């Protein structure tokens, strides 16, 4: 079953605006990761936040995590046309295990020039 | 670096035919995975291999078999394809990050399979 659910399913904004995507999950996590998928391509890892962290930055990306609400958000600032893609959150089970990640259904982001 | 390489990129099968999707990684990762991606469903884990010589079922293993041939290669086999297996299949490999203990995946470009 899907453990990570992104919201909204689709988002269309103007270039230069900020884009915010949310992710909710149901069970405890060790870490939460965000991936990007360009059309027709594989997923690419963007950023990881551990369960004991509340906020993380990487370039134009900002991720927050609220474990009490079981939710995370991904903010892309000053969006560009090249940011058009689908974004997925993935729950890491942690504990050093290699049993894969559980992905949500994704948010499809369109940046309009 | 090639990363994760999947073959074939596209395949059309008739119901009941068999085929094998090949995957190889050159990053010396211990763990490898097969996911399928369907519209509106996100990615679902089919099988994974935590290390060479081991394989385990994921969320949707029915109708599939896997082989971890060596550390580099992990294949997915459909013995008798069904239309419900029409999907895009992704192979991934991973490293466990020392500081966080997190499992970060590197994906291949995908294999689009259509079963008629």
pLDDT in tens, A84-99: 999 999 988 655 556 7
pLDDT of residue A97: 57
In B26-110 the beta strands, taken as DSSP E runs, fall at: 31-38, 42-49, 56-57, 64-68, 74-78, 87-96, 103-107
pLDDT of residue B39: 86
Per-residue burial over A40-49, b = 16 or more CB atoms within 10 Å of its CB, e = otherwise? eebbebbbbb
List, in sequence order, the alpha helices (H) in chain A.
none
Query: Considering only alpha carbons, which residue of chain B is nearest residue A98?
Result: B50
Neighbours of A55 (CB within 10 A): 11
| B1 pLDDT more than 70 | no
Quick check: A48 and B102 CB within 8 A?
yes
pLDDT of residue A1: 41
Mean pLDDT value of segment A44-67:
96
Q: From chain B, which residues contact A within 8 Å (Cβ)?
A: 4, 30-31, 33, 35, 40-45, 48, 50-51, 56, 58-59, 90, 92, 94, 96-97, 100-110
**Cα–Cα distance for residue pair A67/B21, rounded to 1 Å:** 38
CA–CA distances in Å: residue A21 to residues A64, A106, B40, B96 = 11, 9, 17, 26
Quick check: A50 and B100 CB within 8 A?
yes
pLDDT in tens, B38-54: 987 889 999 999 889 89
What is the pLDDT confidence band of residue A2, given thresholds at 50, 70 and 90? very low
Residue A16 CB partners (closer than 8 Å, separation 6+): A78, A79
Q: Tokens 């990881």 identify what position?
A: A48
Q: How far is B79 from chain A (nearest CA, A)?
A: 24
pLDDT in tens, B61-88: 999 999 998 999 999 999 999 999 999 9
Q: From chain A, which residues contact B within 8 Å (Cβ)?
A: 1-2, 4, 30-31, 33, 35, 40-45, 48, 50, 88, 90, 92-106
| A55 pLDDT more than 50 | yes
Residue B83 CB partners (closer than 8 Å, separation 6+): B15, B115, B116
- When mean pLDDT is compared across A4-13, A53-62, B83-92, the lowest value belongs to A4-13
* Pick from B30, B42, B110: CB nearest A98: B30
Mean pLDDT value of segment A15-37:
93
DSSP bridge pairs for B66: B76
What is the pLDDT confidence band of residue A15, given thresholds at 50, 70 and 90? very high
Q: How far is B19 from chain A (nearest CA, A)?
A: 21
**Cα–Cα distance for residue pair B65/B49, rounded to 1 Å:** 12
| B114 pLDDT more than 60 | yes
Nearest in space to B111 (alpha carbons), one of B19, B17, B15: B19
């Amino acid at each position: 079953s899907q453990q990570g659910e992104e919201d909204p399913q689709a988002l269309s904004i103007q270039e230069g605006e900020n884009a915010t995507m949310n992710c909710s999950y149901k069970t405890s996590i060790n870490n939460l990761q965000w991936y990007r998928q360009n059309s027709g391509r594989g997923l690419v890892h963007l950023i990881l936040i551990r369960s004991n962290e509340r906020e993380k930055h990487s370039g134009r990306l900002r991720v927050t995590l609220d474990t009490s609400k079981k939710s995370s958000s991904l903010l892309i600032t000053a969006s560009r046309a090249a940011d058009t893609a689908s974004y997925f959150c993935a729950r890491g089970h942690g504990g050093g295990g290699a049993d894969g990640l559980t992905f949500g259904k994704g948010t499809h982001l369109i940046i309009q020039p | 670096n090639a990363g994760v390489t999947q073959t074939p990129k596209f395949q059309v099968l008739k119901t009941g035919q068999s085929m094998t999707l090949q995957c190889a990684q050159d990053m010396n990762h211990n763990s490898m995975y097969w996911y399928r991606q369907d519209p509106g469903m996100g990615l679902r884990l089919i099988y994974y291999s935590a290390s060479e010589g081991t394989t385990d079922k994921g969320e949707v293993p029915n109708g599939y078999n896997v082989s971890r041939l060596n550390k580099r290669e992990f294949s997915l086999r459909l013995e008798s394809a069904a239309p419900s297996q029409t999907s895009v299949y992704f192979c991934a490999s991973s490293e466990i990050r020392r500081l966080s203990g997190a499992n970060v995946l590197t994906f291949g470009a995908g294999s689009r399979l259509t079963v008629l």
